[in-house]
Homo-oligomer: A and B are copies of this chain.
Amino acid sequence: VNVSCARTVKLTLEYDGTDYNGWQIQKGRPDRTVQGEIEKALKQIFGKPVPVRGSGRTDAGVHARGQVAHIQPPSDMSAGEIVRALNGNLPRDVSILSARDAASGFHAQYSAVGKTYRYQILNRPSPPAIDRRFVWHYPHRLDLRAMRETSRYLLGRHDFASFCATDPARAGRDTIRRVSALAVRKSGGLVRIDIQANGFLYKMVRNIVGTLVAVGNGRLEPGQVRTILRQKDRKRAAETAPACGLTLLKVDYK
C-alpha cells in the first residue's frame, strides 16, 4: 500500500472540552479524549480502526470551535456522508462541522501555518451560571488599557520561552514564535482575548493570559513584560490561566 497516495479527508470540528482529558489519546490510559471518541465513531462506521490526526493537542478542559484533523478513509464514502455518519455516532459534546477531500500530502499538523485561540474571562463579581463551562471567572478589577498596552509588547517575533510550560518531551526545541494578532476586547462583563500566531508553545496562550491578567490587576507593569520575554525563564511570567476559558478558533493552512 502506497500510503502517500491514500485519499485524505480534512475534518473541521467543534467540541466542549469540559468532560475530556484533552484531544490526544494517552497511551495506556483509559481517559476520555476527543481523539479517542472520534476513533471509536470511525471504527463503528468503517468496521476497522481508522486513525485521526489533529492539528495539535488541546489540553484537558480546552474547547474548540475550529479544530482541524485528517483521516484516510478506507472506503469511497463521500465527505458529506462521513460528516453525517460521524455526527450520528459521536457524543453530544463533539460535532463535525465539515469534511473536505484534501490535496495529496495534506497533514492536519504539519501543513498548519498558524492558529487562532480565544480566551474568555468573565470579569464580574457574580459567578457565571450560563457560561460556566467556557469562561474563567475573575471577579477582581482588570485595567483593560494596561492589558492592551502589554499585548503590544508581545506582538511580533519573540522567544516565548518565559511563556512555555516545561515539557520534557519537547526540551531543547525552538521557542521562537510570531504572534500576528493579539486583541483584548470587553463586552458586558466578558473579556475576550484573541491571539493568532504561526504556532504555539505548550500552554503559551494560558501563560500569556495569566500575565495579561497580572498586569490588569496591577501586580505587574506593562513594561515588565519586555523584561520577562528577555529573561527566557518560565518562572518570571505569571501563573497559567485555567483551561476552561480557552477555545481553539481556527487553524490556518496555505
Task: State the A residues within 8 Å of B (CB).
Answer: 14-16, 63, 65, 83, 87, 92-98, 124-130, 132, 134, 247
Question: Which residues of B lie under 8 Å from residue A247 when comparing CB positions?
Answer: 130
CB<8 Å pairs between A and B, sample of 27: A14-B128, A14-B129, A15-B129, A15-B130, A16-B129, A16-B130, A16-B132, A63-B130, A65-B130, A83-B125, A87-B126, A87-B127, A92-B127, A92-B129, A92-B132, A93-B129, A93-B132, A94-B129, A95-B126, A95-B127, A95-B128, A95-B129, A96-B126, A97-B124, A98-B126, A130-B134, A130-B247
Shortest CB distance A200–B (Å): 20
- Please report the C-alpha to C-alpha distance between residue A98 and residue B53 in the assembled complex, in whole angstroms: 46
- Please report the C-alpha to C-alpha distance between residue A247 and residue B65 in the assembled complex, in whole angstroms: 23
Question: Which residues of B lie under 8 Å from residue A128 when comparing CB positions?
Answer: 14, 95
Tell which of A63, A87, A125, A132 has the most Cβ of chain B within 10 Å. Answer: A125
Question: Which residues of B lie under 8 Å from residue A129 when comparing CB positions?
Answer: 14-16, 92-95
Give 5 new A-B contacts, CB below 8 A, not counting A83-B126, A95-B128, A97-B126: A14-B130, A15-B129, A92-B127, A95-B127, A130-B134
Shortest CB distance A99–B (Å): 10
Tell which of A83, A96, A98, A130 has the most Cβ of chain B within 10 Å. Answer: A130
Shortest CB distance A35–B (Å): 15
What residue of chain B has the Cβ atom nearest to residue A96's Cβ?
B126
- Please report the C-alpha to C-alpha distance between residue A134 and residue B132 in the assembled complex, in whole angstroms: 13
